[in-house]
Amino acid sequence: MLKDLRASRAASGIALALVLLPGAGARSQPASAPAAMPSFPPGPDYAGVAGSHAENQRITGLCGANRNAKDGYDPKPLMADQTRAPQIKSKQAFAVEVMATLDRSVGMAFLPNGDLLVSQRAGGLRTVSPKGVVSAPLKGTPDIAGVMGTSNTGPVLDRDFAKTRTIYYGYTTAPPAKGEPYVGKIMKARLSADGTALEDAKTIYEDKFLAPRRIVQARDGTLLIASAEVADRGPNPQSMTDPRGKILRIATDGSIPKDNPFVKTAGANPALYAVGFRDVQGAALNPATGELWVGENEPMGGDELNRIKPGGNYGFPVISYGRRNNGQMINDGKTQQDGMEQPVYFWTPSIAPSGLTFYNGKAFPAWKNSVFVGAMSGQQLVRLEMKNGHVVGEEKLLMDRCKRTKDVRQGPDGLIYVITDETPSEILRLVPAKK
């Protein structure tokens, strides 16, 4: 009897393995009917991505229909203040200046002389003067491969840049051979004294499937790297070895800090700092606390604002307030699970966050302590009014321009700078309106 039972179990295991083989199943069993695609038509007062029904209609007439305008998916948040905060309009008057127009760009950093150092989507760096003069491409920048869409990030100035002129820059390279994975790299270099070249460039960290989107230098000097996942249902963000869908933490020489949260976890990548993301394209330190906050793209709705805890698991694709790109549910629409972090805030429909900054300048008093988030598919700059770490109001800015936003930063002058995700890009400068 025991022998027969073992044989039966072995046969069942072989049958299951055969079914799981690529291409298996079509010959061994009838194909099951495809799951019905859920439909979430918007109601008559639906606000879309513009903040109110009337404003949504106005922006549609001005810019054309937003690609997410008919997505009425509205999952129930765990906490009431996690989504759809009251729409507000501040009394802060401002004007928009087009500072410069240049090749499609990704990120920016402010140099001590007042210039901007700007990274380009196709690779390379340029400087832009306060008067909008765009330099020739800097010499000594690495070649990148566009395997991840936006395949470079940065630049980030070292906190001792005034003394060392050190910068950090992340990018992806082509696979070394056909069928092999692409490789992501973090570069450390010195900006030449005349600002025209990178010198002494070296790779301090690299890994297959590393897809650096943003780099932030923490208060302790370590580098926090947001690495993307583009698949819309994982499973890589939950892997403890794969860098996709993660925040990684390294020292400025590329070594692994001894206090990283997973250093002692058997088999884990010791560089991992937090896991369970989809595609983080905005990241900044909260100047009041030093905590890392990120803006994350989910596949279809459910974009998130997250406060990062060392060792935290942010859920994707086990939990999500979004869906797959084709409209199917992710894990049957599950939005919470013990041991997984909830977003501080999320958006439905999708706005595609890109760029994030905390505002503590003096140029715009009414915006003090706000969080600004750029939006690509949402074609806007979002201002989030914060109270005790929670979103209490949301203001939609720059929608009349009908432009995707790629990055947003507060400048040393207290002004707000924005890069549009267009070909070509504009660098916009928000200034107080003249009285």
Largest CA distance in the chain: 93
Higher per-residue confidence, 326 vs 146: 326
- 308-328 pLDDT tens trace: 999 999 999 999 999 999 999
Average pLDDT over residues 237-244: 98
Per-residue pLDDT at 225: 98
For 328-344, what is each residue's pLDDT tens digit? 999 999 999 999 999 99
Tell me how far CA of residue 300 lies from CA of 110, 150, 188, 329, 377, in angstroms.
Answer: 33, 19, 35, 10, 11
Q: How far apart are CA 1 and CA 167, in angstroms?
A: 70
Sheet arrangement for strand 246-250: 212-217, 223-227, 246-250, 272-275
Q: Is cis: bond before 243, omega within 30 of 0?
A: no
SS3 call for 145: coil
Q: Give Cα separations from 427 to 56, 232, 261, 433 (angstroms).
A: 25, 31, 38, 18
C-alpha to C-alpha distance for 153 and 143, rounded to whole angstroms: 13
* CA–CA distance, 381 with 391 (Å, rounded to integer): 16
Q: Which helix (H) or strand (E) holds 354?
A: strand 353-358
Residue among 192, 213, 204 at smallest CA distance from 140: 192
Structure confidence at residue 435 (pLDDT): 77
Whole-angstrom Cα distance, residue 349 to residue 54? 17
Percentage of residues in the chain with pLDDT exceeding 90? 84
**pLDDT value of residue 148:** 65
pLDDT above 50: residue 422: yes
pLDDT at residue number 1: 41
Residue 102 is predicted with a pLDDT of 97
Q: Could you tell me the two tokens for 430?
A: 């928000």
Distance between CA atoms of residues 264 and 270, nearest Å: 8
DSSP label at residue 77 = P
Say how far residue 407 (Cα) sits from the centre of its chain: 10
Q: Which residues contact 314 (CB under 8 A, 6 or more apart)?
A: 274, 275, 276, 277, 296, 304, 306, 340, 341, 343
Place 36 in a pLDDT band, splitting at 50, 70 and 90. confident
Average pLDDT over residues 63-87: 94
- What pLDDT band is residue 392 in, cutting at 50, 70 and 90? very high
For the ranges 30-39, 201-210, 346-355, the lowest mean pLDDT is seen at 30-39
Which residues, at least 6 apart from 304, have a Cβ–Cβ distance to it below 8 Å?
A: 295, 296, 298, 314, 321, 343, 344, 345, 346, 347, 353
Model confidence band, residue 31 (pLDDT cutoffs 50, 70, 90)? low
Rounded distance between C-alpha atoms, residue 402 and residue 414, angstroms: 25
* Averaged pLDDT for residues 389-405: 98
Inform me whether the pLDDT recorded for 16 exceeds 70.
no
Say which amino acid occupies 243.
P
Using CA of residue 429, residue 356, residue 146, residue 156, what is the dihedral sign? positive
Parallel, antiparallel or unpaired: strands 183-191 and 166-173:
antiparallel
Beta partners for 180? none
Q: How confident is the model at residue 152 (pLDDT cuts 50, 70, 90)?
A: confident
Confidence tier at 304 by pLDDT (50, 70, 90): very high
CA distances (Å), origin 289, targets 123, 260, 286, 373? 33, 19, 6, 19
The candidate with the shortest Cα–Cα distance to 431, out of 6, 192, 105, 95, is 95
Question: Dihedral angle at the C-alpha atoms of 357, 363, 369, 373, nearest 10 degrees?
Answer: -30
432 pairs with which residues across the strands? 94
Q: What is the distance between the alpha carbons of residues 70 and 66, in angstroms, rounded to a whole number?
A: 8
Higher pLDDT, residue 9 or 306: 306
What integer pLDDT is reported at residue 35 of this predicted model? 65
Least confident of 24-38, 181-195, 280-294: 24-38
Q: Tell me, what's the pLDDT at 18? A: 36
Residue (of 294, 281, 324, 377) closest to 50 by Cα position: 377
How distant, in Å, are the alpha carbons of 232, 239, 268, 386 from that of 242? Answer: 16, 6, 9, 34
